[in-house]
Amino acid sequence: MHHHNHYYGQTHILARWCGLDDEHPPRIRGYLQHGWNVGCGWNPVHEFFDGAWRYTWSDPPRRRGHSLGRRDYHVVGAPFLYLAELEPTLGAVPEPERRGTLWFLFHGWEGGGKGGKIEGDHARLISEIKETETEPVTISLYYTEFERPEVRRAYEEAGFEVICFGKRGWNYEGTDRRFLYKQLEAFRGFKRVAANRLSTAIFFGVAAGCEPAVYGDPMELEGDNPLFGGQARIARLWPEMLGKQIDLATARATTDAELGRHHLMPPAEMRMLFDWNPRD
């Protein structure tokens, strides 16, 4: 089982969905997509074991993978959607009481010496956020930026509340299996979700009932792989998801497609797919 499957506690959520131990979940004998992806579900240079199944959230990554000659795909739906089904009231407030914007800064990753830090004009972005948002703003930083004092202080000194949902984990260490629980609970209290790049958080926010926005300096990621196609590719393929005011019905339709809402499966089917049924 690849350690990416544990990111954000996703395997733990699927194990709970299947009625199994979600503290020590069984293996997924393959590769589970861990975030929204503009390619075939994974990093362009990700290494796979021959014959391993690739479990994507939705059909578009599967189709893109097939176009590259890759096989052994199965679409399962995003674990976040299963969590929302498991926790229908977590953080829920009546629609008129939703307030404010949960704003996600594009983040780096645990890249070590291979890169992973973001660089951009934070002052300019802060100014644009203040000019755009009409209700209180909470800035969400991934821990890679939250632990960079110069980044965190820039937003705190601008008057924003700054939060961090924790760590996704790395090599089975430090996984916060409540990561997505905390996000779901937060999303359900906000009116808007926004970010400076179209990202997983935007789709999760829309799925949890938020109005989306994507604007501002998209920042540069050290070591970013050009095979993804960059911001130009995102603007070409998902133009309806960019802007300060986005049509909500359209955003919800795109979100359902990208998160694979129509591919969610009952527990018995998932247990069979992952070979999670007990053996006599």
The CATH number of whichever domain residue 215 belongs to comes to: 3.40.50
> Does one domain contain both 185 and 122?
yes
Tens-place pLDDT, residues 102-155: 999 997 666 544 446 778 899 999 999 999 999 999 999 999 899 999 999 999
> Does one domain contain both 111 and 29?
no
DSSP 263: G
In a domain, 280, yes or no: no
In a domain, 25, yes or no: yes
Q: What's the rounded mean pLDDT across residues 233-256?
A: 97
In a domain, 115, yes or no: yes
pLDDT of residue 111: 56
- The residue ranking higher by pLDDT, 112 or 269, is 269
Query: What number of other Cβ atoms are within 10 A of residue 191's Cβ?
Result: 17
Q: CB-based contacts of 43: which residues, under 8 Å, 6+ apart?
A: 225
Q: How large a percentage of the chain has pLDDT more than 70?
A: 92
Predicted TM-score (pTM) of the model is 0.94
Residue appearing with tokens 């779901």 = 184
> Does one domain contain both 149 and 78?
no
Question: Which of 110-124, 155-169, 170-184, 203-217 comes out lowest in average pLDDT?
Answer: 110-124
Instruction: Count structural domains, the chain.
Output: 2
Q: CB-based contacts of 51: which residues, under 8 Å, 6+ apart?
A: 72
Residue-range definition of the domain harbouring residue 166: 95-246
pLDDT of residue 114: 46
> Does one domain contain both 129 and 239?
yes
Angle between helix 149-156 and helix 122-132 axes, rounded to 10 deg: 30
Q: How large a percentage of the chain has pLDDT more than 90?
A: 72
Angle between helix 200-207 and helix 179-187 axes, rounded to 10 deg: 60
> Does one domain contain both 115 and 226?
yes
